[in-house]
Chains A and B, each alone.
Chain A
């Protein structure tokens, strides 16, 4: 009996009136966990009942604790008829299962009903006493931490990055046909919510087990998705990166955590060897192999031609691994071998991370992606007939005996795709894939599975446990040129996987670099970027005949390669139009509908200093005979050239002139001016040819500059830059802006447009789609105009085709204001970068900043926290010089040397900062102190509602994350049968999304947190039936609940504590 769950129902407020006669409600609460139910007394005639119940105790397996949500149902007591449900609260108690996270869940939760939405709130307290698990054959994985964040969470240190973990669970969908059904809408919605909650709990537990097998203790970059396959069922799948993380904390933060006896017990299973499970005999379990033994004959799948399977078996594969010896000298080979051996133990050397600990990412090859079109059929699953009671009837070990091939089919599908990705990466001379993600698009019985990532070469440093050769590591460090290493090609120059223009790196001039670089990862923090970045989108529609089953799948498969090709052409053209040479955070989404396919690619364009300057775009007319046509062409050409020039100015792209001799490029490069106009159509032709014949497009370091249709050119030029004061990107950070202020606004915007069936041509569609996206962006800029200057970060577009002529675009992003002061910005940027450098260079220094950010003790004394950026810029003398160099660096050599200076300076600053507290004392005004006191009050205490910030980013500007409280993963269904009365579709969805935000915030606040980072709305499926006055929506969101402390507060504390209090280490207090 490994756990005791305790629940107390305190009170309710703002309950709806359930008894029309008295205008009051006789409310009571049912508390259910697993098969056990408790009830509170009925609190008569009140809309604000005070139950103050006893502690309801559930004695349960930790396995159940992981899988099951706590269900709280509020009902209205009725003597004569059945009790009416007011609403429910589902509480995921997972955050209570590992140490360091929350110790108690306590607060006001919105009472949610799938028909009426939020109906009042209920105050609940939940605790868990976890006992030491003696069962060696356990199925639970309590203690494994999950993070949605796709980088090593702040306040943790990666000891080992074990690699890819994945799992999927399938089930019957209890109610997929929502419009006409037998059960009441409420019953079916709730059945569905409950099921998905259970399935995701189970999935998480299984992933956790895999992590334990790999000897890890955490999953980073955890991405869980639902495939609503309709008739064929429901698939919940997840991927992530298994890691062993170390909490960076001073003892002061840890001691108080043991205050309660329950806490102590909870910690013990975690503090021991992270893998007490003797069952995992090796890193690769037989189980895993089992999972991937798929039989292709079984599935009615059609392999998309976008990724040719042959490829992975042909010499290309051999090239990737075999060419290791001849690539880049003996050192490279050694490095490669070592890393390879580390990675080859793993079936899929994938990381879902998009940002990496310093030194991990060595080279980036380019984007690899694979798609496949599959036909769905019913998931026969006898074990799942009894949905609720029996979900765990197949355990991890039961895969063999499991009497259904279906989950395996789904698994096999993904295995196939992953295999493909792996071989693509090999072809690029890379042994790993980073920034890896998977997605699906389903329409009727056709499903497109997509996977993409960035082929990369990683340093073995984090990949193996303690086996790393120190000297080698040292050499890696030495050999990595500052800020450009990752751009250097990982493949063999003489045996390139695709044609690309290679030049010597413009930064270090030693290694070769490609002319453009596409990646799915975030911009590495040490990358040298010129100017600012911008959001670049490629948008595309293709009509498709309506068809059934296999014919449909064939049609889609045939369209896919053309779509991908065009998307890439657009991306490349737009990138050139912006005068930039690299894309980060690339995400290509292909959506399938009844009669069309939509492609939407988003990425952040930047100008990498290491890469050559991009060529221009030249328009070549097809019929040069006509004079006026010629004129038109030249007019267009001029327009394009003007746009490029304007963009360069807008994004401050002014790379230094580099003389050819210094570069020593083997490829004769024309001078800058002529390069702008240079046509590269020949090369693009080559690419096209190669693309089609070899199907090698996935490794798309392509160079396409031709624009053969006028419409394409027009569409290029219709993209209007954001109004002044606005920047946008889809990555975590915007290159060139670092002086964020603390104001953030996360938002979701949804638009659905109906296409008139008259103008359904490809071109009209494209135009419509383009207009839709552009208008949406314009609306966002307008709405957020009061925040300028600001940057829209992590702009995430999702397209779906809910019906024949409907296009739905959902955008989630965060607007962050920044300081206009440019001088401050550049110095600060430098300071931050150099800080990074400094911390990698010097181990003892490393401890400093990291300890600070792990510091969950508000009153804990640490003066250096905020000080370094400040003191760096306020340090007289040197910073002024820096400012000068940073504003106009005349050459890279200068810049590098100034960096080294900065590193030295930085190191000093940090040391000084830890001793010198007087600098900031004067800043600690009494008002700041007051602010802090307010803030440190528990968010749910008192009457006012505490502010919970939400952001898709992994950080909060101007604040330090001091504690991760656990993953938030919530699924909601909302339905209405009175659509008009609720303000139509817009009113309905607006309310629902606001409610979802509210419920996320409430859960975070109840965990003791004040923010959600890495927030993502993974699904927003909206269906309407206006003729019946009905609509339904499903939303799935996730993120990491955290506690953050404002840097200004930290400063106050750090300066005050030493002065007032002489024993700063003992004042630790865990904020709960």
Chain B
């Protein structure tokens, strides 16, 4: 006696959260059944393996049918085929778009193209995440990217509106889209210690301060070509950053800057002497990063540069985080006292964000 057909359809669609997770994790029906058996569900409920198999199949089928709708979450809300309570709908969407930390670190900043998709095999082996799950996550990134890429307005709002994600998740996706669009390098060995959260934090700061949307120009000039205000860095701003070079190129200015910082921090830093010796190197590093941002290639290496030029020197001298904070604050503020320097606002826009990023990036 073999079962040819076995279905269960409820007026309210039954969603089993545990099975949903297994499905999202890309397990096959048989693997999922095995995992469920291991969870002790048979003992708890007195069910048989056959029942479990049938139940799992059924849920998988439902999820498969729902998947098409999950690709455009507003459709899930308006469709008539599955009657699902709103709270469950939200759960389905949220879980579907949730991604694995390990996975996102692999693809963050990469071009979301077919080429990358081909690498998913390797990522799957490397991270231990099933290929199926990798594909879903990658496709989610790509789908969100495609939808909001060309859109005006706030990136987070756009994502939230079109994918009905929670605020937290929408912010994460904004970071992913931002990174993918600017192709920031995140995969280098020296960046491995950074978590997705670190990057997402930086992305948010950069979106807030370094993009066109940040300046708030668009509403006054809707016909301009600034369509993707939140996704692209403000080109003009990047061009202007060259002007900061004077801070290190002009020896007097550099010395003055150094003395201002040193005077202010004397006795307040545990690593004062190291700071004093390294000041010019660090300052040169930070200003050069800014000056190089006109080239796309250097934009991509932003994080590599920040780590190389600032995080690593400080770390090798064992600066405590509090000292880094004090230093960066003073370093930024002191520029205001440099009489010969005319680009105060530019400096603040640059350094304000960079300071936040560096503090976040500065850990083991």
Binding site for B on A (CB under 8 A): 13-14, 108, 110, 118, 121, 723, 745-756, 768, 771-772, 775, 778-783, 785, 806, 808, 943-945, 947-950, 983, 985-987, 989-991, 993-995, 997-998, 1001-1002, 1022, 1024
Known: A754-B2, A785-B45, A994-B13. 15 other contacts (CB 8 A): A108-B80, A723-B45, A747-B10, A753-B1, A755-B1, A775-B50, A779-B8, A779-B54, A782-B51, A945-B78, A949-B11, A985-B4, A986-B57, A986-B61, A993-B9
Using CB atoms, name the residue of chain B closest to A944.
B77
A994 to B11, CA, bound (A): 8
The smallest C-beta distance from A834 to any residue of chain B, in angstroms, reads 34
* A1022 / chain B contacts, CB cutoff of 8 Å: 5
* A944 / chain B contacts, CB cutoff of 8 Å: 77-78, 86
Q: Would A745 and B10 be within 8 Å (CB), given that A750-B5, A778-B51, A990-B65 are in contact?
A: yes
Using CB atoms, name the residue of chain B closest to A984.
B5
Whether A772 contacts B1 by the Cβ 8 Å rule is yes
Using CB atoms, name the residue of chain A closest to B72.
A14
Residue of A752, A782, A989, A1001 with most partner-chain B CB within 10 A:
A782
Using CB atoms, name the residue of chain B closest to A771.
B1
* B47 / chain A contacts, CB cutoff of 8 Å: 778, 781-782
Q: Would A14 and B75 be within 8 Å (CB), given that A723-B45, A783-B55 are in contact?
A: yes
* A983 / chain B contacts, CB cutoff of 8 Å: 61, 64
> 8 Å CB contacts to A: which residues of B1-59?
1-14, 45-48, 50-52, 54-55, 57-58
Whether B61 contacts A752 by the Cβ 8 Å rule is no
Contact of B5 among A723, A780, A985 (CB under 8 A): A985
A to B CB contacts below 8 Å, 10 in the list: A753-B3, A778-B51, A782-B45, A950-B11, A983-B61, A986-B61, A994-B9, A997-B9, A998-B80, A1001-B80
A1024 to B86, CA, bound (A): 36
A118 to B65, CA, bound (A): 13
The smallest C-beta distance from B270 to any residue of chain A, in angstroms, reads 56
* A723 / chain B contacts, CB cutoff of 8 Å: 45-46
Using CB atoms, name the residue of chain A closest to B81.
A998
* A997 / chain B contacts, CB cutoff of 8 Å: 9, 11, 81, 83
A995 to B81, CA, bound (A): 6
Whether B5 contacts A994 by the Cβ 8 Å rule is no
Q: Would A748 and B9 be within 8 Å (CB), given that A753-B1, A756-B1, A944-B86 are in contact?
A: yes
A110 to B83, CA, bound (A): 14
Whether B77 contacts A945 by the Cβ 8 Å rule is yes
The smallest C-beta distance from B191 to any residue of chain A, in angstroms, reads 39
- B272 in contact (CB, < 8 A): no
A808 to B5, CA, bound (A): 9
The smallest C-beta distance from A968 to any residue of chain B, in angstroms, reads 14
- B79 in contact (CB, < 8 A): yes
- B201 in contact (CB, < 8 A): no
* A998 / chain B contacts, CB cutoff of 8 Å: 80-83
Contact of A779 among B51, B75, B85, B86 (CB under 8 A): B51
* B12 / chain A contacts, CB cutoff of 8 Å: 745
Binding site for A on B (CB under 8 A): 1-14, 45-48, 50-52, 54-55, 57-58, 61-62, 64-65, 75, 77-83, 85-86
A13 to B78, CA, bound (A): 9
Whether A754 contacts B50 by the Cβ 8 Å rule is no
Whether B61 contacts A987 by the Cβ 8 Å rule is yes
Whether B14 contacts A754 by the Cβ 8 Å rule is no
Contact of A14 among B7, B9, B13, B78 (CB under 8 A): B78
* A985 / chain B contacts, CB cutoff of 8 Å: 4-5
Whether B48 contacts A778 by the Cβ 8 Å rule is yes
A205 to B77, CA, bound (A): 39
Whether A806 contacts B4 by the Cβ 8 Å rule is yes
The smallest C-beta distance from A1022 to any residue of chain B, in angstroms, reads 7
* A947 / chain B contacts, CB cutoff of 8 Å: 83, 85
Whether A989 contacts B5 by the Cβ 8 Å rule is yes
Whether A991 contacts B1 by the Cβ 8 Å rule is no
A753 to B12, CA, bound (A): 26
* B58 / chain A contacts, CB cutoff of 8 Å: 783, 990
* A13 / chain B contacts, CB cutoff of 8 Å: 78
The smallest C-beta distance from A702 to any residue of chain B, in angstroms, reads 32
Chain A to chain B: the 5 pairs with minimum beta-carbon distance, closest first: A752-B5, A747-B10, A746-B11, A993-B9, A752-B4
* A108 / chain B contacts, CB cutoff of 8 Å: 80
Contact of A752 among B3, B51, B54, B78 (CB under 8 A): B3
* A806 / chain B contacts, CB cutoff of 8 Å: 4
A745 to B77, CA, bound (A): 20
Residue of A13, A746, A945 with most partner-chain B CB within 10 A:
A945
A808 to B62, CA, bound (A): 21
Using CB atoms, name the residue of chain A closest to B9.
A993
The smallest C-beta distance from B282 to any residue of chain A, in angstroms, reads 53
* B1 / chain A contacts, CB cutoff of 8 Å: 753-756, 768, 771-772
* B5 / chain A contacts, CB cutoff of 8 Å: 750-752, 808, 985-986, 989, 1022
Whether B7 contacts A749 by the Cβ 8 Å rule is yes
* B50 / chain A contacts, CB cutoff of 8 Å: 775
A991 to B65, CA, bound (A): 8
Contact of B4 among A748, A754, A780, A943 (CB under 8 A): A754
* B14 / chain A contacts, CB cutoff of 8 Å: 745, 783
* A752 / chain B contacts, CB cutoff of 8 Å: 3-6
A247 to B10, CA, bound (A): 33
* A785 / chain B contacts, CB cutoff of 8 Å: 45
Whether B79 contacts A993 by the Cβ 8 Å rule is no
* B55 / chain A contacts, CB cutoff of 8 Å: 779, 782-783
Q: Would A775 and B51 be within 8 Å (CB), given that A723-B45, A754-B1, A944-B86 are in contact?
A: yes
The smallest C-beta distance from A181 to any residue of chain B, in angstroms, reads 24
A983 to B8, CA, bound (A): 15
Whether B79 contacts A14 by the Cβ 8 Å rule is yes
* B75 / chain A contacts, CB cutoff of 8 Å: 14
Contact of B81 among A118, A750, A768 (CB under 8 A): A118
Whether B8 contacts A783 by the Cβ 8 Å rule is yes
Using CB atoms, name the residue of chain A closest to B74.
A943
Whether B11 contacts A747 by the Cβ 8 Å rule is yes
A947 to B77, CA, bound (A): 12
A342 to B200, CA, bound (A): 83
* A753 / chain B contacts, CB cutoff of 8 Å: 1-4
* B78 / chain A contacts, CB cutoff of 8 Å: 13-14, 943-945
* B77 / chain A contacts, CB cutoff of 8 Å: 943-945
* B64 / chain A contacts, CB cutoff of 8 Å: 983, 987
Q: Would A994 and B82 be within 8 Å (CB), given that A754-B4, A986-B5 are in contact?
A: yes
The smallest C-beta distance from A509 to any residue of chain B, in angstroms, reads 43
A994 to B1, CA, bound (A): 27
Q: Would A749 and B2 be within 8 Å (CB), given that A108-B80, A775-B50 are in contact?
A: no
Using CB atoms, name the residue of chain B closest to A995.
B81
* B6 / chain A contacts, CB cutoff of 8 Å: 750-752, 986
Whether B11 contacts A745 by the Cβ 8 Å rule is yes
The smallest C-beta distance from B202 to any residue of chain A, in angstroms, reads 36
* B62 / chain A contacts, CB cutoff of 8 Å: 990
Whether A747 contacts B8 by the Cβ 8 Å rule is yes
Q: Would A747 and B80 be within 8 Å (CB), given that A752-B3, A754-B1, A987-B61 are in contact?
A: no
A417 to B86, CA, bound (A): 51
Whether B3 contacts A751 by the Cβ 8 Å rule is yes
* A780 / chain B contacts, CB cutoff of 8 Å: 8
Whether B83 contacts A750 by the Cβ 8 Å rule is no
* A1002 / chain B contacts, CB cutoff of 8 Å: 80
The smallest C-beta distance from A859 to any residue of chain B, in angstroms, reads 26
The smallest C-beta distance from A949 to any residue of chain B, in angstroms, reads 7
* A948 / chain B contacts, CB cutoff of 8 Å: 83
* B46 / chain A contacts, CB cutoff of 8 Å: 723
The smallest C-beta distance from A1046 to any residue of chain B, in angstroms, reads 16
A778 to B8, CA, bound (A): 13
The smallest C-beta distance from A591 to any residue of chain B, in angstroms, reads 17
A987 to B60, CA, bound (A): 10
A779 to B52, CA, bound (A): 8
* B79 / chain A contacts, CB cutoff of 8 Å: 14, 945
Whether A746 contacts B57 by the Cβ 8 Å rule is no
